[in-house]
Amino acid sequence: MKLGNCTLFQSALVLFLAGSSTAARDPSQDLPHVWITARREDAADAGRKVLDGSTQEKFDGIMDSIRPNAVIHLGPGVFVTNGVHLKNNWRILGSGKDKTIIRLANNAPTVDNPSAAAVLYNFDWEGFYHYIEISDLTLDCNRNNQALCSRGRPGVLNALTTATRNAKITRVRALGTWANFGEGFPFSVLSSGTKDGSNRVEIDSCENLNPMGPVTAIAAFDQTGTRISGFIRNCTVTNDPAGVGFGAGGWKNFEVSHNRTRNLGAAIVIDSHDYENVRIQHNEFRRNISYGLLYNGSGKYQDIVVENNFIEMAESARGGVMTNEATVSTQIRKNTIIQKSPTVSALSLGQKTKGIVSDNIISEKVRSHLNGADIVLRRNRDADGRVIAALSRHAN
């Protein structure tokens, strides 16, 4: 068959080639790629130059020599480091979080002061990078072999702390993180936000297992008092009664979803700076010691949707969802909230809170408090399916 002066096949080929020329390209294709092995015997890789990072000195020497704007491929095995100083627009790609491990050397040197050490780091006082990407590896602080931790003095062990406007952190596991002072952020992206939240932090399928001390285990934080967008999703934090699972501040158009916590002080703390259009949904938070979801700051927290979550509190817990004196507009709906405390309610909403609490299953021994909050209550039930009595003049 002909179409004008060419066959239909030729026309289709022309259209295909035209479409291919305009298809989006992975920007990392334009960056230099570096391959590093943790096993000396793997350094001679057919058809590719693979660098030997089999000792701490070799690995740190290679990482120090790599310039900004690079894709770094790490093979299987254990890489030992005194701490890797990240550079702008680095993409560090492991071979899988069960295969590639970057571990702090025993008694690793501190990175910025005598009370801190880190596996991967750069700081906001150096200026914010444009982009950092890290995926498919484990970051091990080697806590049991750090004098910084064992001597009982104030300090921190960070798996990852990066100051960058945009970040993508995927399938990264943190082990052995620790803080022994006011508050720690051992797995954190510190961003410089914008008014519209166009700078973006994406943390997906990551873990911080068994952190120690008063930490926010996985954090996305705008350092400038404006906004960042993005998400924390499919992540896991376990076993730190003094710690918080997720939080930090300045979220706009942000999602916290499909995460899991167990045996923490609090699952989520909404705190520093303002928040706007945040979705907290489809999470499973079990055995929280103090709080499930705590609004704890003086900012304005607008359009916070808490939906389809399982929130379980320990018998010693303080509150399932608490807004205190924060200025909050919220929808709390379709959650299961189990409060086991004999003296504390599942919900405690402050007088500056307004919104809707609907279609939740709430198991508690002490009736929830609205404390003058401007709340509409709809179709909330107890664990036996009975409708919970109205607690607000707006209830229906």
pLDDT in tens, 303-314: 999 999 999 999
Least confident among 70-84, 123-137, 147-161, 274-288: 147-161
Mean pLDDT confidence for 367-382: 87
Q: Output the CA torsion sign for 309, 214, 265, 374.
A: negative
Residue 9 burial (CB < 10 Å; 0-12/13-18/19+)?
Answer: exposed
Q: Residue 61 has what DSSP assignment? A: H
The yes-or-no verdict on residue 391 having pLDDT over 90 is: no
Of 285, 235, 236, the C-alpha closest to 265 is: 285
Q: Is the pTM of this model over 0.85?
A: yes
Q: What is the pLDDT of residue 319?
A: 87
Cα gap 326→372, rounded to integer Å: 13
Cβ atoms of 237 and 245 closer than 8 Å: yes
Of 293, 295, 286, 377, the C-alpha closest to 338 is: 286
Cβ atoms of 176 and 157 closer than 8 Å: yes
Q: What is the pLDDT of residue 19?
A: 40
Q: What is the pLDDT of residue 142?
A: 98
CB neighbourhood size of 338 (10 A): 20
Q: 152: pLDDT confidence band, cut at 50, 70 and 90?
A: confident
The yes-or-no verdict on residue 166 having pLDDT over 80 is: yes
- The dihedral over CA atoms of 123, 129, 134, 140, expressed in degrees to the nearest 10, equals -10
pLDDT in tens, 88-112: 999 999 999 999 999 999 999 988 8
Q: 389: pLDDT confidence band, cut at 50, 70 and 90?
A: low
Residues in a beta bridge with 194 = 227
Cα gap 45→360, rounded to integer Å: 57
The yes-or-no verdict on residue 266 having pLDDT over 60 is: yes
